[in-house]
Structure 1
Amino acid sequence: MQTMLSIIKSRPFNPLFRFISLLPTATTTPHSFSTSPSKTPLQNQFETWINHLKPGFTPSDVHRALQAQSDPDLSLDIFRWTAQQRNYTHTHLTYLTVIKQLIAGRRYRQAETLIHEVIAGACDPSVELYNAVIRFCCGRKFLFSLAFDVYKKMLRSEDSKPTLETYSLLFNSLLRRFNKLNVCYVYLHSVRSMTKQMKANGVIPDTFVLNMIIKAYSKCLELDEAIKVFRDMGLYGCEPNAYSYGYIAKGLCEKGRVNQGFKFFVEMRDKGFVPSASTYVIIVCSLAMNRRFEDAIEVLFDMLENSKSPDHLTYKTVLEGLCREGRADGAFDLLDECRKRDVNMNEKMYKALLRELHYICREGE
């Protein structure tokens, strides 16, 4: 026969009942707790804050009590205890406070539980609360769809419509999933829908949001739509920056529209914008593969002047292209010049490129 102790040990521990013995019974009041010295410091803190809450406390009182806590577990216990009291209901402010504390304390599972309560309508709507929930969900891989549930709730709301921050968070989260071309097309529909909804709600995008839309279209090689957004930036009081030009220049080159992509690159440089290393690489390789070696070399040197080093494949594309065009001497000279300019070209890379050049030259003999 099992002893009572073995039965108790076999039961799983539920952290929600840590302070069950502290909750007031029907014959006690919040101020009738004893201060037994055998209680833990956390239990004493819980009792102290409960005693601070006077009968008939309001959400503002609870908000102040929650803000004063440095322990997220204690905050959650206070939050749960107050929710059980008669004639009291939590507001968006108390939910927002405790959710932020749980996230800061890495209590993600508990935060997710409260988020589900918010979505279910446990408190009054609030833009700040909804955006905080979306920010958390966008940062968690398996809560991605939950962020859009909150967004849909905002669309249906009368007083808590999506804001620019909402769209920034959602667009940014979507773009992080644009890692493969076939996946891009799946999410591009969402980008289009949100862009239309953003305009319908009267939200004016900033440069950051417009750049993400441009990037989405460029990643999916929908360059005409990307260029249209680029041209319309001035209508929203925004100016294109290095990212705006870079996304389109890369997309055009990947699409095979190298001449147009190079024009965007030149315009970007004329305005003093410095492209990213990946933009430089795409431009150099595209020009070299189209046998525009002078332009490719010029961009290559510009890349080095801006302290951005080409990778092995970029060098190889230009050098081998020169060799196959019968310009082997020029290829060797270029390699030596790049070795002088590129501080990151180590001996191993130099020798590997040199061997490859000799091999290509022997093939052409």
Structure 2
Amino acid sequence: MVCKLSTRLMNICVSSLCKLQQLEKAESIIIDAIRLGTLPDVVTYNTLVAAYCRFVDLDSGYLILNRMKEAKITPNVITYNSLLAGASKELSLSKCLKLLNEMDKIGISPDVWSYNTLMHCFFRLGKPEEAQKIFQDNIFNKLSPSSTTFNTIFTGLCKNGYTHNALTLFRSLQRNGIFTPELITYNILIDGLCKSGQLRAARSILKELGQSGLEPNASTYTTVMKYCFRSKKFEEGIEVFHEMKKNGYTYDAFPYCTVSSAFAKTGKLKDAYKFFELMTKKGIEKDIVSYNILVNMYCIEGRLDKVDDLLLEIEESGLKCDQYTHTTLVDGLCRIGNIDGALEHLKYMDTLGFDSNLVAYNCMVDRLCKVGCSNTALEIYEKMEEKDSITYTSIVHNLCKERNFLTASKVLLACLNRGMRVLRGTQRVVVKGLQSSGLYSEARKVQAKIRLARIID
């Protein structure tokens, strides 16, 4: 009895240390326990396998199996489920299948969690058909699906662009009484419908959620509100905000920032300021996101004196300016024509140690092109160590507007050579521009590269 109690106590200590990512200390506990005569069991090793797979890598987790064999402890389905989760995290389908094959050889039957993980891996790799086959053949027909199973398939279908299939499956399960949806299920479907542009259907699901006895949460309302604004349906977005407010979910800055940001992006600055006033009246403190939106609004108006006051206020409130703050300042300086000031601030950003200042550089390049300083934009473009499709698209698009099709074609070819994409409309403008300028050889070269890129893609 003492031994069992000691092993249980050891497992609690090991589990606590693993959750804190202190794996070395967890290992020390096990070594000390063995010296005192308390032997680890399958729970001990399963805890280690899960921790190594989660915080280190799959290979480190798999090495624990050798220690289990030495201790004459047989791994179980929980052991392999942790390894499958590690393989899925690494997006290694081959390792997932190898582990399932290994389970079969040693006589361990996969359970619903094993197949949930495999299904999730298929979805993340963009293979929804294979994921649905796992659901139908291995889970639905042979095992008892859990709520996690259903939520996994709804999420996977929505993220892979099969929102209609997710909704059809949801209705079918409802009609047959197979599945009782949870709040998270409704949130998944609402998010999927919003992302696919089906706002009316999303509002319908939101209404259904309200009638189901479940309470929508802040995430539910914010999702719908955000996509209403993105679709420029401001009245609907405000209606959702007021419903959210009525139900007591406007307790932090996030919903106010969402509304203010939406108005600011469309130039409705008076409306944007009104929501900041509402937030202040409610006694909600500004976070860095709030300040960044205000910085953006002042930059749009060209009120850089106000921006300086805000930067001082951010410092005094104990917050720290982030990449978005500085990027907004670069964009604001460009807007008012202070290109030299923007370039200086860009150089200052490079000294701050951010992971990447790509967005700021993209803003700078785009603004320079728009104010007719394409030569300076090209100089910055050449010096940029990191570029993305937005960088190339901006340069190509603006060079075409200046009818500099030859330089635009060179930038486009550089983009395609790096496996990146430029909008097809922009590609066509480059080809037609070259042809209209009599540069037929260059036009054919670009056309050939575009066709090759599409075949590879």
State the TM-score, normalized to the length of structure 1. Answer: 0.55
Give the Å deviation of 1:260.
1.6
Question: d(CA) in 1 for partners of 2:134 and 2:313?
Answer: 52
The DSSP-based 3-state class of the residue aligned with 2:162 is helix
Q: Which residue of 1 aligns with 2:150?
A: 167
Structure 1: any 5+ residue segments left out of the alignment? 1-62, 80-92, 178-185
1:272 corresponds, among 243, 246, 249, to 249
Higher mean alpha-carbon deviation, 293-302 vs 209-218, is at 293-302
- Map Cα deviations across residues 93-114 of structure 1 (whole Å, 9 max, x no partner): 9873453254377696454134
Give the Å deviation of 1:116.
6.3
Question: d(CA) in 1 for partners of 2:197 and 2:47?
Answer: 51
Q: 1:101 to 1:126 in 2, by over 3 A?
A: closer
Q: 1:216 to 1:239 in 2, by over 3 A?
A: same
Which amino acid letter does the alignment assign opposite residue 170 of structure 1? Answer: I
Q: 1:332 to 1:296 in 2, by over 3 A?
A: same
Which amino acid letter does the alignment assign opposite residue 285 of structure 2? Answer: E
- Map Cα deviations across residues 33-60 of structure 1 (whole Å, 9 max, x no partner): xxxxxxxxxxxxxxxxxxxxxxxxxxxx
1:149 corresponds, among 114, 133, 137, to 133
Larger radius of gyration: 1
- Map Cα deviations across residues 299-348 of structure 1 (whole Å, 9 max, x no partner): 3464982414258687435642xx4xxxx7xx467545533544444895
Q: For the Cα contact (< 8 Å) 2:81–2:113, is it kept in 1? A: no
Give the Å deviation of 1:165.
1.2
- Map Cα deviations across residues 243-290 of structure 1 (whole Å, 9 max, x no partner): 10111001111111112202322432451345785x666532432355
The answer to whether structure 1 residue 316 and structure 2 residue 296 are counterparts is: yes
Q: For the Cα contact (< 8 Å) 1:69–1:75, is it kept in 2? A: no
RMSD: 4.7
Q: For the Cα contact (< 8 Å) 1:72–1:101, is it kept in 2? A: no
Higher mean alpha-carbon deviation, 213-222 vs 291-300, is at 291-300
- Map Cα deviations across residues 22-78 of structure 1 (whole Å, 9 max, x no partner): xxxxxxxxxxxxxxxxxxxxxxxxxxxxxxxxxxxxxxxxx99x97997846859x9
Question: d(CA) in 2 for partners of 1:189 and 1:335?
Answer: 46
Q: Which residue of 1 aligns with 2:181?
A: 205
1:176-191 correspondence to structure 2 within 5 Å: 176-177=159-160, 186-191=161-166
Q: For the Cα contact (< 8 Å) 1:246–1:275, is it kept in 2? A: no
1:115-264 correspondence to structure 2 within 5 Å: 115=100, 126-135=111-120, 137=122, 141=125, 145-154=129-138, 157=141, 160-177=143-160, 186-199=161-174, 200-264=176-240
Q: 1:235 to 1:290 in 2, by over 3 A?
A: same
Q: Which residue of 2 aligns with 1:48?
A: none
Give the Å deviation of 1:204.
1.1
Which amino acid letter does the alignment assign opposite residue 206 of structure 1? Answer: E
The DSSP-based 3-state class of the residue aligned with 1:195 is helix
Q: For the Cα contact (< 8 Å) 1:168–1:209, is it kept in 2? A: yes
Q: 1:218 to 1:334 in 2, by over 3 A?
A: farther
Percent of counterpart pairs with the same letter?
Answer: 16
Q: For the Cα contact (< 8 Å) 1:96–1:132, is it kept in 2? A: no
The DSSP-based 3-state class of the residue aligned with 2:81 is helix
Which amino acid letter does the alignment assign opposite residue 307 of structure 1? Answer: D
Q: Which residue of 1 aligns with 2:98?
A: 113
Q: Which residue of 1 aligns with 2:447?
A: none
Q: 1:112 to 1:163 in 2, by over 3 A?
A: same
Q: For the Cα contact (< 8 Å) 1:253–1:286, is it kept in 2? A: yes
Give the Å deviation of 1:242.
1.1
Q: 1:197 to 1:351 in 2, by over 3 A?
A: closer
Higher relative contact order (CA 8 A, sep 6+): 1
Q: Which residue of 1 aligns with 2:310?
A: 338
Q: 1:333 to 1:238 in 2, by over 3 A?
A: farther
Which amino acid letter does the alignment assign opposite residue 149 of structure 1? Answer: K
Q: Which residue of 2 aligns with 1:96?
A: 77
Give the Å deviation of 1:173.
3.5
Q: For the Cα contact (< 8 Å) 1:242–1:268, is it kept in 2? A: yes
Question: d(CA) in 1 for partners of 2:151 and 2:237?
Answer: 27
Q: For the Cα contact (< 8 Å) 1:99–1:111, is it kept in 2? A: no
Which amino acid letter does the alignment assign opposite residue 96 of structure 1? Answer: V
Q: 1:334 to 1:125 in 2, by over 3 A?
A: same
Q: For the Cα contact (< 8 Å) 1:206–1:236, is it kept in 2? A: no
Q: 1:197 to 1:334 in 2, by over 3 A?
A: farther
Q: For the Cα contact (< 8 Å) 2:96–2:118, is it kept in 1? A: no
Give the Å deviation of 1:225.
0.7
Structure 2: any 5+ residue segments left out of the alignment? 1-41, 50-60, 339-370, 372-457
The DSSP-based 3-state class of the residue aligned with 2:171 is helix
Which amino acid letter does the alignment assign opposite residue 152 of structure 2? Answer: L
Q: 1:350 to 1:290 in 2, by over 3 A?
A: closer
The DSSP-based 3-state class of the residue aligned with 2:226 is helix
Q: For the Cα contact (< 8 Å) 2:84–2:114, is it kept in 1? A: no
Question: d(CA) in 1 for partners of 2:48 and 2:111?
Answer: 23
Which amino acid letter does the alignment assign opposite residue 338 of structure 1? Answer: L
The DSSP-based 3-state class of the residue aligned with 1:194 is helix
Q: Which residue of 2 aligns with 1:307?
A: 287
Which amino acid letter does the alignment assign opposite residue 183 of structure 2? Answer: T
Q: How many residues align?
A: 264
Which amino acid letter does the alignment assign opposite residue 141 of structure 1? Answer: L
